[in-house]
Amino acid sequence: AKAAGGDRWQWFDAAHDEQAQEEARLGDDLDLALLRDEMFLLFQPIVELPSGRPTGVEVLLRWRHPTLGLVPPDVFVPLAERTGRIVDIGRWVLENASRQAALWQHRYGERAPAKVSINVSARQLAEPGFVAEVEDILARTGVDRDRLLLEVTETAVLGAGAPLEAVRELRERGLRVALDDFGTGQSSLSLLLTVPVDVLKVDKSFVSGEAAGQAGAVIVEHLIGFTNGLRMEAVAEGVETEDQAQRLHEAGYSLAQGFLFGRPVTAEEIESGLLTAAAR
Ligand code: C2E
Ligand code: CA
Ligand code: CA
Ligand code: CA
């Protein structure tokens, strides 16, 4: 069933026990992925509106499976969350992204991406030693903490353990936190009152996705009002067309991310972009 229909990820629709077996096998492979050096990071620009000038990047994890090829993170991240492997993988992401940020800071100074956004999963946030681990990584990689932005989802923050406390403590220590995929969870607006964060990432479903019509536009316009009132920054995700960018700018957004401005690319490609920008 795996290769059926051109999309090899369709096997998730296959018969249930076959699916469970495939998932168990994929989970075993995932356990070895870091050891086998199969994971790598891509970086997608976050830009200012209306100029389109890059101001930061989001770090996006990739897994090149030895036989299946690139496995989408929407498949392997939830799997890693279920098996618990996300804790090791997330630590690896944090460490390598911080090292990359430190290198850019050292090599390019003012021209380096001002902010490097790193996705942090629910399981990581709920680990008792998470804050100490972040401090350890900061110390070892030498990155300035104000260069990092940790992206968490509302489900992560509301999960079991002490994720909310972790968010508070990270911010007390001068790290910035973004609420990711905002608007897709259960309790979005009330959450803003209990969880102080620095940045709201407005989910792409409102910007360019299924909900992006009339209702999406209204939500997008209201969210910018909330963020202004709460002294937060807003990033519009999933911007794909000039028209969307124009309307977001008119609604008051000054930060955006999406295929219109750039797909996720390697660190080298980010660097050559910095160099061409400097040469202009
Ligand atoms: P996310 O954090 O919401 O990341 C943004 C996703 O939207 C990325 O998908 C990105 O490629 C995609 N995207 C960017 N611009 C556009 C656009 O204009 N249109 C559309 N349709 N999509 C756009 P990607 O890289 O496949 O990652 C999917 C998800 O996997 C991420 O969603 C995040 O939840 C998770 N993920 C990725 N890397 C990590 C990681 O290092 N740690 C954890 N815990 N999760 C990660
Ligand atoms: Ca994210
Ligand atoms: Ca997102
Ligand atoms: Ca997402």
**Digit-coded pLDDT (tens) for 196-226:** 899 999 999 999 877 677 888 888 998 999 8
Q: Characterise 62 by phi-psi region: left (phi > 0), alpha (psi -120 to 50), beta (else).
A: beta
pLDDT of residue 189 exceeding 80, the answer is no
| Confidence tier at 1 by pLDDT (50, 70, 90) | very low
Our mutation pick for probing the ligand 1 site, out of 77, 180, 200, counting the most ligand atoms within 8 A of Cβ, is 77
Q: Characterise 63 by phi-psi region: left (phi > 0), alpha (psi -120 to 50), beta (else).
A: beta
Q: Which two tokens stand for residue 109?
A: 């100074």
Phi, psi of 3 (to 5 degrees): -90, 5
pLDDT of residue 6 exceeding 60, the answer is no
- The ligand placed nearest to the CA atom of residue 62 is 1
Calpha distance 118→105 (Å, rounded): 16
Q: Which amino acid is at 226?
A: F
pLDDT of residue 2 exceeding 50, the answer is no
Per-residue pLDDT at 187 = 66
The stretch 168-178 carries a mean pLDDT of: 96
Weakest mean pLDDT among 50-54, 79-83, 155-159 = 155-159
Calpha distance 171→71 (Å, rounded): 33
CA-nearest residue, atom 15 of ligand 1: 258
pLDDT in tens, 29-42: 999 999 999 999 99
**pTM over the 0.90 mark:** yes
The CB-side HSE value for 78 (13 A sphere, CA atoms) comes to 5
ipTM for the whole complex: 0.98
pLDDT in tens, 242-268: 999 999 999 999 999 999 999 999 999
CA-nearest residue, atom 20 of ligand 1: 238
Residues with Cβ–ion distance below 5 A, ligand 3: 180-181, 237
pLDDT of residue 188 exceeding 80, the answer is no
The stretch 85-98 carries a mean pLDDT of: 98
Per-residue pLDDT at 13 = 59
- Using DSSP's 3-state secondary structure scheme, residue 241 falls into coil
Q: Which residues line ligand 1 (CB under 6 A)?
A: 44, 60-61, 72-74, 77, 90, 93, 119, 121, 180-181, 204, 208, 238-240, 257-259, 264
The stretch 117-135 carries a mean pLDDT of: 95
Per-residue pLDDT at 7 = 61
pLDDT of residue 4 exceeding 60, the answer is no
Range list of H helices, 142-213: 154-158, 163-172, 188-194, 204-207
Calpha distance 62→64 (Å, rounded): 7
- Using DSSP's 3-state secondary structure scheme, residue 4 falls into helix
- Return the higher-pLDDT residue of 57 and 165: 57
Per-residue pLDDT at 194 = 78
| Confidence tier at 14 by pLDDT (50, 70, 90) | low
Is the C-alpha dihedral spanning 251, 194, 120, 186 positive or negative?
A: negative
Question: In sequence order, which residues have a C-beta less than 8 Å from that of residue 72 and are 6 or more positions away?
Answer: 9
CA-nearest residue, atom 8 of ligand 1: 60
265 DSSP assignment: B
Per-residue pLDDT at 249 = 97
pLDDT in tens, 151-170: 999 888 877 668 889 999 99
Q: To the nearest whole number, what is the mean pLDDT of the chain?
A: 91
Question: In sequence order, which residues have a C-beta less than 8 Å from that of residue 144 and are 6 or more positions away?
Answer: 105
Q: Which two tokens stand for residue 90?
A: 């997330």
pLDDT of residue 121 exceeding 80, the answer is yes
